[in-house]
Amino acid sequence: MDNQEQKNKNISWTAFEYFYYPKTRNWFIATVLISVTLMIIAIFSKDPLVMAVTAMAIVVFFMTAVKMPKEALIELREDGISFGEKNIPYKTLESFWIFYDPPINYISFKKIGKLTQPIKIILGDEIDPVKIREFLSSYLPEKEQEETMMDTMERILRI
């Protein structure tokens, strides 16, 4: 398939908005113990602001950890990427890299700018990463990316 034909053919699939790691009973027990310890430390600080911020952080952490991701339609098009309700023009992206390490396969898009987090889009099981790479190479350079510290922390903490 030549470059022009490739540009005229959109690629679409459905995938979850973000990675979800199932939580075990031990995960919840450890997290509750850590949370209680943090609250005790906050209480001993006798600072209402520290107590409030610690309590809010714990609540947000638990809400985020148990929230199930929604499925989204992902479409790679000539003008950019459609990800659920979001449209991301290629001109706002610097490069892409495909992380292919089953069972976790995703495309990471580096955004233009210094202090930006990469955009991660999960590849569906039925999607051929080579086909994705060929398509995206018509619009963006492929540059190897390293997993960010935040990605590593999310995987270790299973959030």
Question: Could you tell me which of 142, 144, 139, 143 has the C-alpha nearest to residue 91?
Answer: 139
Question: Could you tell me which of 53, 55, 27, 28 has the C-alpha nearest to residue 39?
Answer: 55
pLDDT at 7 (0 to 100): 47
**Rounded to an integer, what distance in angstroms lies between the CA atom of residue 80 and that of residue 74?**
11
Percent with pLDDT over 70 in the chain: 94
* DSSP H helix total and E strand total for the chain: 5, 7
Q: What is the mean pLDDT of residues 65-87?
A: 91
Q: Using an 8 Å Cβ cutoff, are 137 and 1 in contact?
A: no
Percent with pLDDT over 90 in the chain: 53
Q: What is the mean pLDDT of residues 48-67?
A: 91
Q: What is the mean pLDDT of residues 106-127?
A: 88
Q: What is the mean pLDDT of residues 67-75?
A: 91
